[in-house]
Structures are given as C-alpha cells and as structure tokens.
Amino acid sequence: MIGNEEELRARFGEVSHLASAKSRPALDTYSRQFIGLSPFLVISTADTQGRADLSPRGDPPGFVRVIDDNTILIPDRPGNNRLDTMANITANPNVGLLFFVPGFEDTLRLNGKARITDDAALLSACTVNGKQPVVGILVAVEEVFLHCAKALKRSKLWDPASRQDRGQMPTIARMILEQTATPVAEPEAAKIDAAVEEEYRTALY
C-alpha cells in the first residue's frame, strides 16, 4: 500500500506547467460560460468526521446562478428530505463541484466554501414552474479549473451506442424495497412504481 504523497508522486511524472497553472481563484469568462451551459453537477461534501457524500443536482442549463466572480448559487429542489448535502455543509463548509454539459467531454471543477441561504429575494430568480426554492446553496469560489476529456472519452458517456437498457435492472422503487427487506406483493409494488413515476411528473419543483 502507498502510505503518503511522496511515495505516490514517486510513481508518476512531474505535473505539467499547464496542469498546475490552470487553477484559478475566481470565475473567468470560460468558467462562467461553462456553468451557464451546464444542466447537471455533482456536489461533494463531508461531515466533521470526514465522512464523505456525493449528490447530483440538475435543472435547465444555467440553473446555477453566477452572483459574481467569487460566488455562485445552487437552488435546492424537492427531494427525499435526507438533507445529507446540506446537513454536511452546516457542519463543514468545504465543497467540491463537478459540472457537466451534455456533448462536452471536458468538465469543470470548482472548490469552495458553502452556506445555506433562505433569502427570498436571492432565491426568487431560481423560480421554475412558479415554485421558488425553500433554500439554496451559496458557494464562495476558492478554486476553479477545466478538467480534460479522458474520463468521458474512456467511458463513452455521451455516445448513444453505449447507452444501457434500463430494463436490465428492476425499478429504483423495487430495488429499495428489496434492500430494506420490505415485503410487498406484486400489485402493491406496481402501485409504488406508479407513484414514483407520478412524482417525477408532478413534484420536480
């Protein structure tokens, strides 16, 4: 096992100048544009014990508001009320974000400090379908940089030929029922599946 950074770096070459110099302390023209095109991000958080969590966030392109070169706002939409991300932020403000744009194989990484806001004036600009978020995540930008396309090229994430048939696995409701050892007869399971689909149609906002 490799036990420290020195041992780790001994197995790799030097960091290129561009790789080390590309990190910016604030948003610039390109990072603003990338965020404006992005309909999807993943946010990483951790609690005070270092237990990590990742959570997806998605909405129409540009859903993340750029307040200024040092601040962005991520609206919170209805979910399952676990509140893993936001609970972690109240305990440990350090966050990492990874922005995706469909069709782009490069991504954008952003690190910073987050806070939870319920400022109605700030959140009003995030209204969709007449629904204003109850809260949002304000992130003070500390580091932002573009990430190369190798991972998405290897995965062929946007290649239509690599799409999997969703029917290869059960529905999410049925998997969770089985994982939680909740015995449900087939007619009831079908009702739960239908309820989940109805929530997707009517309760996204």
Decide which of 2.130.10.10, 3.40.50.300, 2.30.110.10, 3.40.718.10 is the CATH code for 5-155. 2.30.110.10
pTM: 0.94
pLDDT digits (tens, 9 = 90+) for 123-156: 999 999 999 999 999 999 999 999 999 999 999 9
Lowest model confidence (mean pLDDT) among 6-15, 64-73, 110-119, 155-164? 6-15
Closest CA to 87 of 127, 42, 51, 57: 51
pLDDT digits (tens, 9 = 90+) for 186-205: 999 999 999 999 999 999 99
Q: Are 103 and 97 in contact (CB under 8 A)?
A: no
Domain boundaries, the chain: 5-155, 164-202
> Residue 187's pLDDT is what?
92
The secondary element (H helix, E strand) that includes residue 5 is helix 5-9
The DSSP symbol for 34 reads H
